[in-house]
């Protein structure tokens, strides 16, 4: 099968390697022809140091590589997904399976990545989302990992599962593309919060409390938007939340640490040297929570820290001092 990965970041490169390992005729496209040439010459992506690209992997800056592709993977950063969809649309066919692996929500519209691809490509082919607790750095080293291929089409989800699954990369299928994509985007906000906790010197108890109660917030919003509660407790939800909140591979967590240590937010974001998706997702969460009338105090406090320069310790005090609650809302005593 011919597969093209559109986007030569760390994640796109790691997934191109998986497809190559599975014997597919795989091309990695970069929007920067100079970067493509450098990767061809060195057989390495600077974002994945020490990971040698398979000899069979083709790298190019020419979009004509999409001709005849049966599987197309959209691996652009969230802010570039709509533009990417427009660029690749002329090359897609009805039989193509288009896979979104970007994690984010579009600013202003609050739309998920698959919705952007559907609009920008004119809905010419089936779309799936692939997501889960999978750092590119570890997938590049071929360490065991698992994720979820979600689509409204069972055939598309299974096609993605078949294309990617191998001895080190396990793929489950799901019909709940809404929940999978929301989990992917919203957990970045909580990873920022966990990083802030680290920067403040808070330890394991605090982070366990934060992650668990934040997931309750994300689940409430996700269900309101049409996602399944089970998705948020699975690989794409809690699984991705755990890995993003606890790993130093996470740009969101690293940015949060700097903010918790007192660095101004713009400086913290710039110092990471790559897109910190949680910063933008925090604004989208605020808009969605207001629109859907879902109470999300943790996410609100994160937004206030990021956008209104609120002191993190003051925000912590507010959250800890909230009114008494029953953990199982709506439950009754037996």
| Positions marked catalytic | 187
Environment class of 123 (CB within 10 Å of its CB; exposed 0-12, middle 13-18, buried 19+): exposed
Residue 164 structure tokens:
């990617």
Nearest of 19, 116, 14 to residue 70 by alpha carbon: 19
CB-CB contact of 142 with 168 (8 Å): yes
β-bridge mates for residue 29, sequence order: 6, 60
Distance CA 147, CA 134 (A): 7
3-class secondary-structure state, position 8 = coil
CB-CB contact of 125 with 93 (8 Å): yes
What is residue 52's DSSP assignment? B
Environment class of 153 (CB within 10 Å of its CB; exposed 0-12, middle 13-18, buried 19+): middle
Residue 313: which H helix or E strand, with range?
Answer: helix 312-320
Distance CA 153, CA 176 (A): 10
3-class secondary-structure state, position 293 = coil
β-bridge mates for residue 105, sequence order: 112
């Amino acid at each position: 099968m011919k597969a093209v990965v559109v986007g030569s970041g760390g994640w796109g490169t790691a997934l191109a390697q998986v497809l190559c390992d599975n014997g597919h005729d795989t091309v990695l496209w970069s929007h920067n022809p100079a970067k493509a040439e450098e990767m061809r010459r060195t057989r390495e992506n600077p974002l994945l140091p020490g990971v040698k690209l398979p000899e069979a992997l083709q790298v190019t800056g020419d979009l004509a590589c999409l001709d005849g592709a049966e599987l197309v993977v959209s691996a652009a950063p969230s802010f570039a997904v709509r533009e990417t969809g427009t660029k690749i649309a002329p090359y897609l066919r009805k039989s193509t399976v288009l896979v979104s692996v970007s994690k984010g929500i579009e600013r202003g519209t609050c739309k998920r990545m698959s919705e952007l691809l559907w609009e920008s490509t004119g809905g010419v082919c089936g779309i799936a989302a692939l997501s889960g607790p999978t750092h590119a750095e570890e997938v590049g080293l071929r360490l065991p990992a698992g994720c979820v291929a979600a689509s409204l089409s069972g055939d598309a989800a299974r096609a993605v599962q078949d294309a990617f699954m191998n001895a080190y990369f396990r793929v489950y299928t799901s019909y709940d593309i809404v929940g999978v994509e929301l989990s992917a985007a919203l957990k970045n906000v909580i990873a920022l919060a966990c990083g802030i906790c680290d920067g403040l010197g808070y330890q394991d108890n605090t982070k366990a409390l934060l992650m668990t109660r934040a997931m309750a917030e994300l689940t409430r919003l996700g269900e309101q938007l049409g996602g399944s509660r089970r998705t948020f407790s699975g690989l794409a939800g809690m699984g991705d939340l755990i890995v993003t909140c606890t790993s130093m591979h996470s740009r969101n967590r690293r940015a949060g640490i700097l903010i918790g240590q007192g660095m101004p937010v713009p400086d913290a974001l710039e110092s990471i040297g790559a897109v910190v998706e949680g910063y933008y997702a925090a604004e989208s969460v605020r808009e969605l929570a207001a629109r859907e009338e879902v109470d999300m105090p943790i996410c609100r406090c994160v937004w206030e820290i990021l956008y209104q320069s609120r002191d993190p310790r003051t925000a912590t005090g507010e959250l800890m001092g909230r009114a008494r609650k029953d953990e199982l809302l709506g439950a009754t005593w037996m």
